[in-house]
């Protein structure tokens, strides 16, 4: 059974700092990995999708890397802003077209002025 | 990307009653999913709903409690039956496009009193 863990559970940084969020998973047989953002009481916004054959994906100030063999992914946020404050979730999808997403526990990020 | 809407956005219900949540997608999708997010927790998959077939429920979730309909490729409903306070959660509809990226609706916040 796939298990996904995110460290740290919560993080507070001053505006402008670069930061790294970590995600680890126990079963390396994944199809892809997706990072999401969730604002309080809201749905999920997809940030980045990394296929199992890829090493990283970039979108604006966000960069996600994937090391499938070691069961790890990182989300790098450059020059953080107060608007980045949210909970960040990573989710891994197992192999097979009908496989489900398994979600991590999330990292709650607060960017202060 | 897919645009997903849910109705209602929130509701307060009495125990023992039922609530039906609607999910509408702006494009035709084969795979739709229903998730539950209990307070302070990550997401848990309730069931996968594919058009033209019975929904597939995850361990711990049963059709009598969470009946699902999927009448066409753009619409689905989830009913939470005979509610108790433990059913207080955010319920999220999700779709997978192109076999890859997964998108989520804004969620329905349910409080059972």
pLDDT (tens digit, 9 = 90+) per residue, B51-63? 878 899 999 999 9
Mean pLDDT of B87-105: 91
Q: Which of A46, A89, A93 sits opposite B103 (nearest CB)?
A: A46
Q: How far is CA B49 from CA A78, A110, B20, B25, B75, in A?
A: 38, 36, 15, 13, 10
Chain A, 36 to 65: residues with Cβ < 8 Å from chain B are: 36, 41-46, 49, 51
Residue A97 has pLDDT above 70, yes or no: no
Confidence of residue B99 (pLDDT cuts 50, 70, 90): low
pLDDT tens-digit map of A23-81: 999 999 999 999 999 998 888 999 999 999 999 999 999 999 999 999 999 999 999 99
Can you spell out the DSSP letters for A23-40? Answer: EEES---EEEEEEEEE-T
Sign of the torsion angle spanned by Cα atoms A105, B96, A56, A54? positive
Q: Do A104 and B48 touch (CB under 8 A)?
A: no
pLDDT reported for residue A40 = 87
CA dihedral B98, B61, B82, B87 (to 10 degrees): -80
Q: Do A49 and B99 touch (CB under 8 A)?
A: no
Q: Could you tell me which residues are beta bridge partners of residue A27?
A: none
Residue B64 has pLDDT above 90, yes or no: yes
Q: Which of A41, A49, A51 sits opposite B109 (nearest CB)?
A: A41
Rounded to an integer, what distance in angstroms lies between the CA atom of residue A92 and that of residue B103?
14
Q: Which of B44, B45, B92 sits opposite A43 (nearest CB)?
A: B92
């Amino acid at each position: 059974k796939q298990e996904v863990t995110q460290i740290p559970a919560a993080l507070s940084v001053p505006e402008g700092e670069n930061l790294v969020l970590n995600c680890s998973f126990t079963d390396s047989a994944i199809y892809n990995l997706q990072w999401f953002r969730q604002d309080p009481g809201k749905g999920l916004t997809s940030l980045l999708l990394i296929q199992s054959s890829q090493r990283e994906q970039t979108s604006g100030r966000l960069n996600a890397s994937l090391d499938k063999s070691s069961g790890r992914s990182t989300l790098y946020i450059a020059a953080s802003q107060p608007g980045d404050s949210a909970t960040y979730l990573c989710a891994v999808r197992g192999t097979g077209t009908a496989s489900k997403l398994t979600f991590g526990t999330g990292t709650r990020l607060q960017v202060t002025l | 990307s897919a645009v997903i809407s849910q109705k209602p956005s929130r509701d307060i219900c009495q125990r023992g009653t039922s609530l039906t949540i609607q999910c509408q997608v702006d494009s035709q999708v084969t795979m739709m999913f229903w998730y539950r997010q209990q307070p302070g927790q990550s997401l848990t998959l309730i069931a996968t709903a594919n058009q033209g077939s019975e929904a597939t429920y995850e361990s711990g979730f049963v059709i009598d409690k969470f009946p699902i309909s999927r009448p066409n490729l753009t619409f689905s409903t989830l009913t939470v039956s005979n509610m108790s306070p433990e059913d207080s959660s955010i319920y999220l509809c999700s779709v997978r496009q192109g076999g890859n990226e997964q998108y989520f609706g804004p969620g329905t916040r349910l409080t059972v009193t």
